[in-house]
Amino acid sequence: MLSRHLDRRRFLLGLGGLGAAALFTGPAQASLSAPVRKLSLHNLHTGEKVSASFWEEGHYIDDGLASFNQVMRDFRSNEVHRIDPGLFDQLFLLQHRLGQQGEIQIISGYRSPVTNAMLRSKSSGVAKKSYHMKGQAIDLRLPGVELAHVRNAARNLAVGGVGYYPKSDFVHLDTGPVRSW
């Protein structure tokens, strides 16, 4: 009887191990276990650059997040908004997936409702309920990485929305549902 109990226990432990391995198989998932997460952001409209850690020892770092919120503000209105920390996790995963640690160029971060409405009046590519207005989106470039590679890597992460704008030379990422266009 004891032998049968141990066999069942080993079987269940094995299943649990397989399940855990499935959750952490790719380099992207493994990188979230890094003890420190750091990004370098460059806002192309303001020229501002910031390099900061935003996660250490299992916790988000308020100072790092605040510096990112500042550089990703709506530069037209100078309005700072809280950016979803999950977006920074996505950026960290994306860079890890691409084997890149350089700067992330920001085309657009947070947009106030007024700015979004103005941009929407000039372009059909701006969503009425844009994730940019929620602090959940970024339009970006990674210097030295082909835009299509950035798009493909972001899609493969399957952690949010990915938009591809080759004519405007940027990729959109957001923390909304997984989808791409």
pTM, two decimal places: 0.81
Task: Give the residue from 135, 110, 121, 123 showing the smallest Cα distance to 45.
Answer: 110
Cα–Cα dist 174/108, whole Å: 12
Q: Which residues are 171's β-sheet partners? A: 140, 164
Q: How many domains does the chain have?
A: 1
Q: Which residues are 50's β-sheet partners? A: 41
Cα–Cα dist 36/14, whole Å: 30
Residue 116 domain-assigned (yes or no): yes
Q: Residue 100, exposed/middle/buried by CB under 10 A (0-12, 13-18, 19+)?
A: middle
* CATH classification at residue 156: 3.30.1380
Kindly report, residue by residue over 32-65, the tens digit of the pLDDT. Answer: 778 899 999 999 999 999 999 999 999 999 999 9
Kindly report, residue by residue over 59-77, the tens digit of the pLDDT. Answer: 999 999 999 999 999 999 9
Rg (CA), the chain: 19
Residue 20 domain-assigned (yes or no): no
Residue 2 domain-assigned (yes or no): no
Residue 146 domain-assigned (yes or no): yes
Domain, as residue range, for 147:
25-180
Residue 79 domain-assigned (yes or no): yes
Residue 9 domain-assigned (yes or no): no
The owner of tokens 């209105």 is 77
Cα–Cα dist 108/72, whole Å: 7
Query: Does position 14 have pLDDT exceeding 60, yes or no?
Result: no
Residue 61 domain-assigned (yes or no): yes
Residue 7 domain-assigned (yes or no): no
Task: Give the residue from 143, 128, 142 showing the smallest Cα distance to 173.
Answer: 142
Cα–Cα dist 179/161, whole Å: 5
